[in-house]
Amino acid sequence: MRESGRFVVLVLDSVGIGELPDAARYGDAGSATLQNLARAVGGLALPTFQALGLGNIAPIPGVAPVESPRGSFGKMAERSPGKDTTTGHWEMMGIVLDEPLALFPRGFPDEIVRPWLAEIGVTGVLGNRPASGTEIIQELGEEQRRTGWPILYTSADSVFQVACHEATVPVPKLYAWCEAARRLLDPWQVARVIARPFVGEPGAYRRTYNRKDFSLPPPGETALDRLAGAGVEVVGVGKIPDIFCDRGVARKVHTEGNADGLAQTERILGEMGPGLLFVNLVDTDMLYGHRNDVPGYRRALEEIDRALPRLIERLRPGDLLAVTADHGCDPTTPSTDHSREYVPLLVHGPGRPRGSALGTRPTFADLGQTVLEHFGVAPMPVGTSFLREVA
């Protein structure tokens, strides 16, 4: 490890910037989260993102290109098959999959469900089909409370989601049920088991921030493992530690929504020494993308835009901030699932007079390689660093 500043990776969950060439294979032709959102609301007002160069990446109504952006700008293509959170984050840190993680478009088979129920001591499940998480708890929430059975559902992603009312199944018990599922699902290559606690009364059930992800372990060494091995501190904020099964993460910071995640990031930047600060802001995806909530998605982006100057002010000479995403989730399309898209890449370093064009990166893994080179750590087998273009 060489003496270096901090590196901040800020993942705006689901903020894609246009369909990938193979998007039609995933049912995502025409998806473009940022561009379609901007058109739907008559233009986005994101002055900080605009100054960093967001409008220089692609035409986005309301976000104009600037002649001298404060950040370097480009976009990244996902090389792995799929369009889920796990695949996207793993690829950022050097794991490129050859085969997609398992999907269950008709629900989970008895070979999975029966052993799981036997282990947790429950006689049945509700649902067991692809569904919107917000809709299925309204539909089955009352029955869940009456029977105590878990609501089981999936989506177009590789997820086994378990929803229970917190008054019926306490959160620790729900976590234990999900841990049991995780053990059984590893051989099936299911990316995530997700605990989805909810509260409220019929007609007004709502999910809580006691959500927890139980991820499939990365299939090989990641950039986080290499950083940890070299003595570089990695701080994971939000669901980052869950996605990587805590591997390589020295410090975990739980968050309750974007406002809290941004405040925690600002706080950590005020006291953190050299190391990687890896942050996921989930509300754009969880609260707005999956609900096709166009006004909410816009408000979430504006909230992040207003907070970014405070984060930038806390950067020190030698620090770098990279803002990106893990996939798309276009709230203007009929689908409520993730979308197969390019993701934006904005990189800012204090004291740099203007940014440079980073072009279209062929893999998210270029970001992890840049992080490793920043700290003088040996590179991963996949990806090309762009450090010289931004430092």
pLDDT tens digits along 273-320: 999 999 999 999 999 999 999 999 999 999 999 999 999 999 999 999
Rounded to an integer, what distance in angstroms lies between the CA atom of residue 45 and that of residue 64? 10
pLDDT tens digits along 18-72: 999 999 999 999 999 999 999 999 999 999 999 999 999 999 999 999 999 999 9
Residue 236 pLDDT > 80: yes
Q: Do domains 7-99+218-390 and 110-215 have the same CATH topology?
A: no
Cβ-based neighbours of 241, under 8 Å, separated by 6 or more:
249, 252
Segment 183-197 shows an average pLDDT of: 96
Mean pLDDT computed over every residue of the chain:
96
* CATH 3.80.10.10 correct for 110-215: no
Contact 177, 197 (CB under 8 A): no
Segment 72-87 shows an average pLDDT of: 96
Q: How confident is the model at residue 139 (pLDDT cuts 50, 70, 90)?
A: very high
User: Looking at residue 354, what is its pLDDT?
Assistant: 80
Rounded to an integer, what distance in angstroms lies between the CA atom of residue 144 and that of residue 114? 18
Question: Max alpha carbon distance in the chain (Å)?
Answer: 64
Residue 97 pLDDT > 70: yes
Structural class in CATH, domain 7-99+218-390: alpha beta
Contact 290, 336 (CB under 8 A): yes
Q: Strand pairing of 251-253 and 233-237? A: parallel
User: Looking at residue 261, what is its pLDDT?
Assistant: 97
Rounded to an integer, what distance in angstroms lies between the CA atom of residue 142 and that of residue 137? 8
pLDDT tens digits along 324-381: 999 999 999 999 999 999 999 999 999 877 889 999 999 999 999 999 999 999 999 9
pLDDT tens digits along 102-124: 999 999 999 999 999 999 999 99
The 3 state secondary structure assigned to the chain is CCCCCCEEEEEECCCCCCECCCHHHHCCCCCCHHHHHHHHCCCCCCHHHHHHCHHHCCCECCECCCCCCCCEEEEECCCCCCCCHHHHHHHHCCCCCCCCCCCCCCCCCHHHHHHHHHHHCCCCCEEEEECCHHHHHHHHHHHHHHHCCCEEEECCCCEEEEEEECCCCCHHHHHHHHHHHHHHHHHHCCCEEEEEEEECCCCCCEECCCCEEEECCCCCCCHHHHHHHCCCEEEEECCHHHHCCCCCCCEEECCCCHHHHHHHHHHHHHHCCCEEEEEEECHHHHHHHCCCCHHHHHHHHHHHHHHHHHHHHCCCCCCEEEEECCCECCCCCCCCCCECECEEEEEECCCCCCCCEEEEECCCHHHHHHHHHHCCCCCCCCCCCCHHHHC
Contact 154, 162 (CB under 8 A): no
Where do the structural domains in the chain lie, given as residue ranges? 7-99+218-390, 110-215
Contact 19, 330 (CB under 8 A): no
Which residue, among 53, 76, 100, 129, has the nearest Cα to 366 in the 3D structure?
A: 76
